[in-house]
Amino acid sequence: MALEQWALPQLSELLSLDEEPLKQIIVYTDTLPDAKAAEHLRGLLGDSPRALEFITSFNKHRSAAAVAKSEQESDSKDSEQVNDSKDNELPAYTPPSHPPPLQHANMAHGRPHTNPVIEAGHIRARDEQQMQNLLQSLQLQYGIYNSEIEPEHDTDYYCYCPIHNYMRLKSGRFGVQDMWSRAVMYAGEKTYNDDYQSPTIFSNNPYRRRVVSPYGYYQPAWAPQKPNPDSHARSIHQTIQLNNTLNREAQAKIDAKEPKVDIWDDSERNVAMSNMTIATAGDQKRQASDEKRQSISVPPRNDSTETSTKSFKFAGFRKSLGIKSSEEKAVAKTKEQIAEGRELRNAILAEEQGRWPDEQWRLIVAVYQEKVGMTRKIAHLRARQPIQYLHLLRAGYFEPIPVAWAGAASNPLKFSIEAAAGWRGITPMWRGYEDTAEERLYWVLNHREGSVGMRMKPDFISEMDMARARMASAVEPPPEYYSANDTCQLQHTSPGYSKQVMPAPFRTYDRPAVPTDDTMVLLDVSGSMDFDPVRPNYNKYLITGYSRSTQPKNKDVAKAIIRRFTDAMANHDHNFRGYDLTTFSSQAHYIGMINHQNLDAMWQNIRIGGGTRVMTGWQKVKDLHFQKHSASAIHHPVYGWQAGPETPMLRLLLLLDGEATDMDEFELDLLGLSWAHVTIFLIGVDGCPHHHRHANELQRISDVNHHVSFIDAQGNTPERFVTHELLKRHLGYEISMSEFEQMEELPPYSVST
């Protein structure tokens, strides 16, 4: 407490943060040894004279407090100290059968585990979503429809326009950005930002010098600039090329920094050290013997003897000046490598113990790694690439997603990645991803067992090309699915059905549905569900506006599909009470049990509006499922419900009309589950590249995760065709046309509930 009272006002003068995050920094730094504490504080504060003075004073105050505390302790605790020293010994580690022997200081004091990445994440999350919302509002205000383009207004005078107010808010976050960068970047990397007031020549930002502005040149300064299609296309090409170059360089550099010896094998390091020591001792003995022989004999004078004597005297002269010989340098380098390896090993053990403090925790993590298919890769990283292992470990890459993140406005999986602005990701090859969830998702897909080659995220140009190719592959739907009761026929939006992209042939992966399975419906009710359908107009890669599409609103199509789907399911499993319906937008709401009789009445309780956060709805659905089946599951305080072997399977129908802001987080969560099968229905605008771009992403996830199935439709939708395909994937077996027609019949609701 005394240290905190002294350090808090001092630190507040160096870091412009609130009191609570400053206290977290002090508490965490107090748990580190002096050298690590100084390194951690230098990373946060820099190397200014005031910062160095604070770091020195911090360690002095901490040492004084520790001495005072030790003097107050009684001699009766000596035996406890002996036991503690035994506990701190590091036996050989055999994961994951038992925990590392180190006790993390935070756990000992009853505080939650923390590290620099967690600290920086807490601080960044406070206004991350606010800044993202502000940027979207600004883009809408100035008619900018590409999410990657920020509004610009270059002037020679001080301006109070919304664009410059946003720029000043961005500048106010440079301290948070620097803290985040220092927490996640690797040794040897440099921080940078996109401060528009700093000269380009003094900037570490490689994108400022090598990527053209999407606005081009020579635009008037008295009004906000407009993006130029040609300059925007050049900007995209240059950004993609620079991303690839910097990613390759960063990965090569960190691979070269990995230890050359096994940090977990003490015998290997001991042998290397003993060999170096023996060689040095032998050299010294030979030199002493040579000196003795030279003193007792008088050899004939020749040039070789004089040269040898001079070289020996020169070696002695160099030694007297403190200049090390090559052998001494090799010994020193080996000692340094051994010390660094020991420090790295201790840091890994401490982080593992801090994150996973008990047997239940470690069991959940081990099961998660196995389900995701990462057990062998993680073990390889730990053994052969420990620097990268520790980096990813601190970011939580090897454990389930905490349930608290689902309802938070922002979390470490929702942080935007902006290479040109200097907002970094976690892995060495972070450039090119939209956010930290997408980065982690593709890292898992690239390294899980069974993956063939690198599954790289397509760049923007490739995504658009694939979306347009998919859109061009659409064909007329099968005529036998025509229905006069389809929404587009009843509303007379436009004649006929829209061309549809045919789904991939159905293949059985999960077991077919059984009567104990739990069917639920999760519906997107974000604001776009009630919008008039529109498609973007492109000039190259720049969106210049939107055009109206003559088709029903997405909410009407969703309601019709839900009605057909639940009616067919009731005929199939004779569950005439209905199925649980949950909605999500910015928040999730449980609507209730829906069936053919009450759907219209229950639909009146649905409120449409807000954003698209699928994780809020997914968390609500999981809670409902495990409340029904809690006897067969356990609940973890951080990771939430964990299914047991007797837990029934959850079969979920998810309907949405666009990409959720946390869709990658949702897909990442599904990779670690075996007790849920999710069938996704994506509703889209006819001829919209954005719809097909998202459809391609969902198809990629469905290809690698057999617990996820995917169907989409665009424009005037053939609802019977969609329902038939959804039922095949939801129930897990091939349903013939005749069986489907029987399932379509109105269910007999004479059965009492």
Distance, CA of 215 to chain centre: 31
199 vs 368, higher pLDDT: 368
Which pLDDT band holds residue 563 (cuts at 50, 70, 90)?
very high
Which pLDDT band holds residue 63 (cuts at 50, 70, 90)?
confident
Instruction: Check pLDDT > 50 for residue 750.
Output: no
pLDDT attached to residue 65: 64
pLDDT attached to residue 16: 64
Q: CATH 3.40.50: does it fit domain 512-619+649-744? A: yes
* All residues at 6 or more sequence positions from 87 whose CB lies less than 8 Å from its CB, including other chains: 101, 102, 103
Rounded to two decimals, the pTM is 0.80
Q: What percent of the chain has pLDDT over 70?
A: 81
- Among the ranges 6-20, 258-272, 397-411, which has the highest mean pLDDT value? 397-411
pLDDT attached to residue 45: 73
At residue 65, the 3 state secondary structure works out as helix
Q: Are strands 708-714 and 588-594 parallel, antiparallel or unpaired?
A: unpaired
Alpha-carbon gap, residue 11 to 4, rounded angstroms:
10
Nearest in space to 655 (alpha carbons), one of 728, 741, 572, 583:
583
Q: Which two tokens stand for residue 288?
A: 């002493």
b/e per residue 422-434 (b: at least 16 CB within 10 A) = bbbbbbbbbbbbe
Instruction: Check pLDDT > 50 for residue 203.
Output: yes
Distance, CA of 249 to chain centre: 21
pLDDT attached to residue 652: 98
pLDDT in tens, 722-749: 999 999 999 999 999 999 999 998 766 5
Q: DSSP letters of 20-50?
A: HHHHHHHHHHHTS-HHHHHHHHHHHH-S-HH
Q: What distance, in Å, lies between the first and last C-alpha atoms of the chain?
A: 62
Lowest mean pLDDT: which of 216-225, 431-440, 577-586, 717-726? 216-225
b/e per residue 98-112 (b: at least 16 CB within 10 A) = ebbebbbbbeeeeee
Place of tokens 């090309």: 465
pLDDT in tens, 609-625: 999 999 999 999 999 99
pLDDT attached to residue 62: 79
Which pLDDT band holds residue 289 (cuts at 50, 70, 90)?
low
Lowest mean pLDDT: which of 49-58, 160-169, 305-314, 365-374? 305-314
pLDDT attached to residue 108: 38
Which pLDDT band holds residue 53 (cuts at 50, 70, 90)?
confident
Instruction: Check pLDDT > 60 for residue 124.
Output: yes
3-state secondary structure labels for all residues of 317-372: HHHHCCCCCHHHHHHHHHHHHHHHHHHHHHHHHHHHHHHCCCHHHHHHHHHHHHHH
Alpha-carbon gap, residue 390 to 264, rounded angstroms:
14
pLDDT attached to residue 298: 47
Residue boundaries of the structural domains of the chain: 512-619+649-744
Q: What is the mean pLDDT of the chain?
A: 84
Lowest mean pLDDT: which of 78-87, 157-166, 419-428? 78-87
pLDDT attached to residue 313: 55
Strand intervals (E) in 409-506: none
User: 572: alpha, beta or left, given left = phi > 0 and alpha = psi -120 to 50?
Assistant: alpha
pLDDT attached to residue 23: 75
